[in-house]
């Protein structure tokens, strides 16, 4: 769903058969949004046989029917409408706000279609207040360097501007080689490296991250490079912020490369005063276990920890929030883990 596109009015002659009434709105709750709308059927004959959906868009400017670039944040299918009565829609649906921390013009769209595909804009309503989304973000300058086998990542700051009791999901820094500068959605390119970080509490920040990671690929060609900050959600990783670097990177072939020092990419906004603790480093996503097949309590993701037999999901999340650990016995300080449970788990865990 999270794709940047052009929002534009349809030329279908049935446009206007159903309209959004005066009463409408939206309200975010974590990774969900409630969409409310009164739908008025003006042409019952034209509305018969159509399927309908409410969409919430975050756009660069208010929508007036002419094409405007934006991101579809949410879509709520409402099925067929009662052509003889007032239709009131109010329900929660999954939401995926655009990456970055710019302000957006919010637009509620009534779209029609068939078989779950809604591409015909029948009506729309602009909201007067612009929206900016509080989500983990990069601050200050970021940079990278490429060697024969490794990647150096430097991030001046990373913060969680949400409320103090709002712990983020597991965070990930990913460096991508792309055909064009990153804008939104799933990156179209090749991942060069990635580092999984612990969750970050609201109103806290990390400073001066300096990571050395393995280089996963050296694709032939000339590429734009982007650093993506991603967060684990109920539906997988979502991109929360990004930095495009101005200097492209080129490889003659998969076996030839020289060390490249990239220009820094600057992200606007102040760094919040908070925890100066350095985010735990991860050599790579693919190395959460040791040779004995034990899961690393310092490097594994929440999903990998929760997969350990006998370890509750809540305890796995608490482990990530409390790490790093110096010994396995320090797990006794984690809520939900007692001495008996730890004895059962030790054969499957490592530092």
Task: Please name the CATH architecture into which domain 295-350 falls.
Answer: Orthogonal Bundle (1.10)
Q: Which of 155, 125, 10 is nearest to 56 (CA)?
A: 125
Do residues 189 and 177 touch, judged by C-beta distance below 8 A?
Answer: yes
**Coil, strand or helix at 164:** coil
Distances (CA, A) of 153 to 32, 137, 182, 263, 292: 32, 16, 18, 12, 30
In whole angstroms, give the CA distance from residue 318 to residue 315: 5
3-state secondary structure of 347: helix
Selected from 2.10.260, 2.60.40, 3.30.43, 1.10.10, the CATH number assigned to the domain covering 4-126 reads: 2.60.40
Residue 287: Cβ within 10 Å count = 12
Angstrom distance (rounded) from CA 231 to CA 61 = 27
More confident residue, 342 or 302: 342
Return the higher-pLDDT residue of 5 and 327.
Answer: 327
- The residue extents of the domains of the chain are 4-126, 137-267, 295-350
| Residue 248: strand pairing partners | none
Inter-residue contact 176 to 190 (CB < 8 Å)? yes
Q: Is 203 left (phi over 0), alpha (psi -120 to 50) or beta?
A: left
Please report, for residues 115, 287, 293, 307, 334, the alpha-carbon distance to residue 345 in angstroms, rounded to integers and kept in the order given.
48, 19, 13, 12, 13
DSSP element (H, E) containing 44: helix 44-47
Asked whether this chain's domains 4-126 and 137-267 adopt the same fold, the reply is yes
What is the spatial distance between Cα 38 and Cα 85, in angstroms, rounded to a whole number? 11
Pick among 2.30.30, 3.40.1000, 2.60.40, 2.30.29: CATH of 137-267: 2.60.40
- If pLDDT is split at 50, 70 and 90, which confidence band does 253 have? low
The pLDDT of residue 51: 82
Tell the residue number behind the tokens 């007032």, with chain if given.
86
Tokens matching residue 54: 């409410």
Given a cut of 90, is residue 287 above it in pLDDT?
A: no
Q: What is the CB neighbour count within 10 angstroms for residue 17?
A: 21
pLDDT digits (tens, 9 = 90+) for 146-174: 988 999 999 999 999 999 999 999 999 99
Strands, sheet with 87-94, edge to edge from the N-terminal-most edge strand: 18-29, 32-41, 87-94
Least confident among 96-105, 111-120, 141-150, 247-256: 247-256
- CA distances 266 to 64, 203, 227, 228, 349, Å, are 33, 21, 11, 13, 40
Q: What is the pLDDT of residue 281?
A: 45
* Alpha carbons 93 and 32: distance in angstroms, whole number: 6
């Amino acid at each position: 769903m999270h794709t940047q596109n052009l929002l534009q009015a349809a030329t279908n002659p049935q446009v206007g058969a159903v309209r959004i009434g005066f009463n409408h709105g939206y309200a975010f709750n974590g990774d969900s949004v409630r969409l409310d709308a009164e739908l008025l059927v003006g042409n019952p004959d034209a509305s018969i046989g159509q399927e309908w959906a409410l969409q919430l868009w975050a756009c660069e400017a208010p929508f007036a029917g002419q094409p405007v670039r934006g991101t579809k944040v949410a879509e709520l299918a409402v099925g067929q409408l009662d052509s003889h009565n007032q239709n009131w829609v109010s329900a929660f649906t999954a939401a995926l706000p655009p990456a970055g921390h710019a302000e957006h013009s919010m637009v509620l769209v009534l779209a029609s279609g068939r078989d779950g595909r809604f591409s015909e804009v029948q009506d729309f309503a602009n909201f007067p207040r612009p929206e900016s989304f509080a989500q983990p973000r990069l601050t200050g300058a970021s940079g990278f360097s490429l060697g024969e086998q490794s990647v150096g990542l430097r991030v001046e700051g990373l913060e969680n501007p949400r409320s103090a009791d709002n712990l983020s999901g597991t965070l990930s820094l990913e460096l991508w080689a792309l055909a064009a500068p990153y804008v939104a959605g799933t990156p179209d390119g090749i991942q060069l490296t990635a580092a999984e970080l612990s969750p970050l509490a609201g109103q806290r920040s990390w400073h001066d991250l300096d990571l050395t990671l393995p280089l996963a690929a050296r694709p032939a060609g000339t590429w734009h490079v982007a650093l993506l900050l991603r967060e684990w959600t109920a539906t997988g990783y979502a991109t929360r912020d990004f930095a495009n670097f101005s200097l492209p990177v080129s490889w003659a072939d998969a076996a030839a490369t020289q060390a490249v020092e990239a220009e820094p990419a600057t992200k606007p906004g102040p760094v919040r005063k908070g925890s100066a603790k350095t985010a735990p480093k991860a050599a790579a996503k693919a190395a959460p276990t040791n040779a004995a097949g034990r899961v690393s309590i310092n490097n594994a993701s929440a999903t990998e920890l929760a997969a350990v037999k006998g370890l509750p999901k809540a305890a796995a999340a608490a482990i990530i929030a409390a790490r790093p650990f110096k010994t396995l016995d320090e797990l006794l300080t984690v809520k939900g883990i007692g001495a008996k449970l730890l004895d059962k788990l030790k054969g499957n865990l490592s530092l």
